[in-house]
Chains A and B, each alone.
Chain A
C-alpha cells in the first residue's frame, strides 16, 4: 500500500459524518484512476445506504426503477464473500441486458469489480469500482489493486457500521493479551523480527496478530494501529512496558548497563 492511499484511508478513518465518506469516495476514485467508486449497504429489509461517485441522475433513476431487484451485481454478490469481477455475473436475462445498457449509457463503465462484505448480524454491503477498458487492462488493474480494494471496502464498512451503531452502541472489541504484547513491542520500536523472536512466535503468526489488532482498531496500517492502541490506552508505553516480565531484545544489555 503506498503513502497516498494510506493518507486517504486515514482521512476515511477519521470521518465523523456521512459527507466525509462521500469525500473519501471521490478521493479514492481519483487515486485508483477509475471512472467510479461506490460503497453500497443493503439492509435485510431492502433499505439502502451508500456513497460514491455515480452521477446523481443515475442514482435517482436506479432508486426510482427499484433496480436493486434486478441488478446482477447485487444479486451476484449477495451472501458471497469473495471479490467478484462483473464479467463473472449473470447478465443473460432480458432485464439484466437492458439494465446494463442503461448503466453503460449513464457512464458507469463497461468493467467492474465488487467486494462483498459480510458484517455483523447478517449485515451486507458491497464496495465497487468500475471503469471503461479492455478485459485485459481490467484484469491487470484488479490483480494489482485487489488487496488495497479489499482494505478500502472494509474501511468504508467499518465507518458505516460505526455511524449506525452510534445509535445502538456496541462495546469495542478489546485486544487480547498476545495482541497487546505485539503492539507494545512494536510501539517500543522493535522490528517485526525482534518482536517475533522475543515472543517466540513465527513472523507469520506475528503478522496474523498485527493484522487482527489493526482490523479491531480500525487502522489502515501497522503504524496507525500502534498509534491508536497507545492513544486509546490499550497498550502501555515506556517504563511499565519495560517492566513487563519476560525478555525483550537487548534487555540484558540494558540491565547490565544499569
Chain B
C-alpha cells in the first residue's frame, strides 16, 4: 500500500524506515555507484532527510519498503537549488506551487507496478494540495523507467555523458495522466483515494460532533 509519511513521523514506522534507508543504500551506492554516505546502520541518508520531508512509500505486504520518493517545498532548502543550479543555468526554482522530488528508489526486485504506484502517489499530492509541478534530479538510467511508467519529465538541463548523465527535470500535473498511471500500477481509484485519506483525510469525528 502507499503510505505518505513525514520524516518526523518515521519513528512510528521502524521497519519501513529501516528498510527504506537500506534499499536507498543499495540502489544509490551499490547499483548506481553514487557517492552517497551510508551510516553504520547501513542507511543512506543525506542532509535533506533532516529537513522533515514528506516521503511517499510503497509498503509491501510484509511491512517492508518496496519503493519510495521524497518531497520538499521549494520555498525552503532543496537539493536542486543547493547543488544542481549550474544544470539549470543558475535558475533557482522556488515557488509555493512547485515541490522538489528526490531519491526515487525501488527495492531489489520491485516491479514496474511499484514505480507506477509511486508516480500515482506523487500525482495524488499534486491533486490534493494544488501543486502544479515537481522538480527533481535524475540520472540516465531513470529515463527508461520514467518512460515505461508514462511520466517523462521536461529536462531543464543536464551534465555528463552516457550513463553518467545527470539531469534536472520538471514533472507537470495533468489530471488525464491519473487514469494511465492507475492502470500501470494495477490499482483502482478508490483504493488510492483510501490510502491518501488515511494519511491526510478527516479523522474520526464521533467525539468532535459531540463537542460541536
Of the candidate stretches B19-27, B61-69, B84-92, B105-113, the one touching chain A is B84-92
Given known contacts A120-B76, A211-B97, is B202 in contact with A178 (CB within 8 Å)?
A: no
Given the complex, which residues of B lie within 8 Å of A87, measured CB to CB? 201-203, 205
User: Quick check: A178 and B52 within 8 Å, CB to CB?
Assistant: no
Q: Closest approach, in angstroms, between the C-beta of B78 and any C-beta of chain A?
A: 11
Given the complex, which residues of B lie within 8 Å of A61, measured CB to CB? none
Q: How far is the CA of A88 from the CA of B135 in the complex (A)?
A: 27
Q: How far is the CA of A48 from the CA of B91 in the complex (A)?
A: 34
Q: How far is the CA of A147 from the CA of B132 in the complex (A)?
A: 9
A141 touches B (CB below 8 Å) = no
User: Quick check: B90 and A176 within 8 Å, CB to CB?
Assistant: yes
Given known contacts A101-B212, A154-B75, is B170 in contact with A178 (CB within 8 Å)?
A: no
Given the complex, which residues of B lie within 8 Å of A201, measured CB to CB? 154
User: Quick check: A216 and B94 within 8 Å, CB to CB?
Assistant: yes
Interface residues on B, range: 35 or more
B151 touches A (CB below 8 Å) = no
User: Quick check: A91 and B75 within 8 Å, CB to CB?
Assistant: no
User: Quick check: B211 and A119 within 8 Å, CB to CB?
Assistant: no
User: Quick check: B76 and A173 within 8 Å, CB to CB?
Assistant: no
A146 touches B (CB below 8 Å) = yes
Contact partner of A205 among B8, B129, B156, CB < 8 A? B156
Encode contact with A along B170-206: 1 for CB under 8 Å, 0 otherwise. Answer: 1010000000000000000000000000001111110
Contact partner of A119 among B75, B203, B210, CB < 8 A? B75
B98 touches A (CB below 8 Å) = yes
Segment 125-171 of B: residues with Cβ below 8 Å from A: 125, 128-130, 132-133, 135, 154, 156, 170
Q: How far is the CA of A212 from the CA of B93 in the complex (A)?
A: 5
User: Quick check: A211 and B203 within 8 Å, CB to CB?
Assistant: no
**Which residue from chain B places its CB closest to the CB of A82 in the assembled complex?**
B129
A247 touches B (CB below 8 Å) = no
A118 touches B (CB below 8 Å) = yes
Given known contacts A104-B212, A178-B90, is B207 in contact with A97 (CB within 8 Å)?
A: yes
User: Quick check: A212 and B91 within 8 Å, CB to CB?
Assistant: yes
Interface centre among A82, A117, A201, A202 (most CB of B within 10 A): A82
A79 touches B (CB below 8 Å) = yes
Contact partner of B96 among A79, A92, A135, A153, CB < 8 A? A153
Binding site for B on A (CB under 8 A): 79-85, 87-92, 97-98, 100-101, 104, 110, 117-120, 135, 146-147, 150-151, 153-154, 173, 176-179, 201-202, 204-205, 207-209, 211-212, 214-216
Contacts beyond the supplied A87-B202, A146-B130: 20 A-B pairs with Cβ under 8 Å = A82-B125, A82-B128, A90-B203, A98-B211, A104-B212, A147-B97, A147-B130, A151-B96, A176-B85, A178-B90, A178-B91, A205-B170, A207-B172, A208-B135, A208-B170, A211-B98, A211-B133, A212-B95, A215-B94, A216-B94
Would you list 18 pairs from A and B whose C-beta atoms are within 8 A, ordered by A residue?
A79-B52, A81-B72, A83-B130, A88-B200, A89-B203, A91-B208, A92-B207, A101-B211, A104-B212, A118-B73, A146-B130, A150-B130, A151-B97, A177-B89, A204-B154, A205-B154, A208-B95, A209-B91
